Amino acid sequence: MIILEGKNLRKTYGYAENKVDAIKNISIEIEEGSFVAVVGTSGSGKSTLLHVLAGLVKPNAGKVYLQGESLYDMNDDRLTRLRRRKMGFVFQFFNLITTHNVIENIVLPIHLDNRQVDEEYVDEIIDLLKLKEKKYAFIHELSGGQQQRVAIARALASKPAIIFADEPTGNLDAKSSQEVIQLLKIVQRKYHETVIMVTHDEMIANVADRILRIEDGQIIQDTAQKNE
């Protein structure tokens, strides 16, 4: 089943001689439960594509559908609610609140949406991501890898339809990077999550079921992979 679809997407920055075509007429379908890696050199358009698919950056042309709903035909309030309820986000710089402890960071998006926290499910995530002993620790007390695990737990806590990860290992050492990626893979399989991840690291991309290679704003290669 197709969970996310982009049709004829185009995003341009700047004007006249400063105009940059970040993505050029890209169409893409993402299968539910798949792990997709988007790779490319710096400036290739991979992060722009992710942000457009996630409802964070409006395209100049084209449509994005999540579970059949057209993101950019919604008003801002409805799109914000949809992102909180159906999307999880993991970024390179973690985006955690340093004045909050681990559990407060994890459940924050649910509280912002005025919804009830499923405490049993959140505890299950915390155990899975090996954060049980750090549940009440503050962010400055955590390593980079632990902080990214908190970000993954936060992304999962609202039971999203899809997780968007933008260079999730960009600030981590090699060991922590492998741990985080393997955890994302475990999460995908255990909860049948759909994961779209941008990375410049070919080794990291190899854990995905499918690799999309972007150059100059266009998908130049779409490769399915067999991962046990």
162 band by pLDDT with thresholds 50, 70 and 90: very high
- Each residue of 58-96: pLDDT tens digit? 999 999 999 999 999 999 999 999 998 899 999 888 789
172 band by pLDDT with thresholds 50, 70 and 90: confident
One-letter amino acid for residue 80 of the chain? T
**163 vs 66: CA distance, rounded Å:** 12
**169 vs 151: CA distance, rounded Å:** 12
**CATH assignment of the domain containing 135:** 3.40.50.300
Q: Are 214 and 49 in contact (CB under 8 A)?
A: yes
Collapse the DSSP code of 91 into the 3-class scheme (helix H, G, I; strand E, B; otherwise coil) and give the result.
strand
Domain ranges, residue 192: 2-224
228 band by pLDDT with thresholds 50, 70 and 90: low
- Report the chain's mean pLDDT, rounded to a whole number: 92
Read off the DSSP letter of residue 94: -
**188 vs 181: CA distance, rounded Å:** 11
> Residue 2: what pLDDT?
96
Q: Is 56 exposed, middle or buried (0-12, 13-18, 19+ CB in 10 A)?
A: middle
pLDDT > 90: what percent of the chain?
70
Question: Mean pLDDT throughout 124-132?
Answer: 92
- Each residue of 174-214: pLDDT tens digit? 888 888 888 889 889 988 999 999 998 888 899 999 999 99
pTM > 0.85: yes or no: yes
pLDDT at 8 over 90: yes
> Residue 100: what pLDDT?
95
Q: Are 88 and 164 in contact (CB under 8 A)?
A: yes
pLDDT at 226 over 80: no
- Each residue of 20-52: pLDDT tens digit? 899 999 999 999 999 999 999 888 999 999 999
pLDDT at 142 over 90: yes
pLDDT at 227 over 80: no
User: Half-sphere exposure of residue 86, counting CA atoms within 13 Å on the CB side?
Assistant: 18
> Residue 48: what pLDDT?
95
Count of domains forming the chain = 1
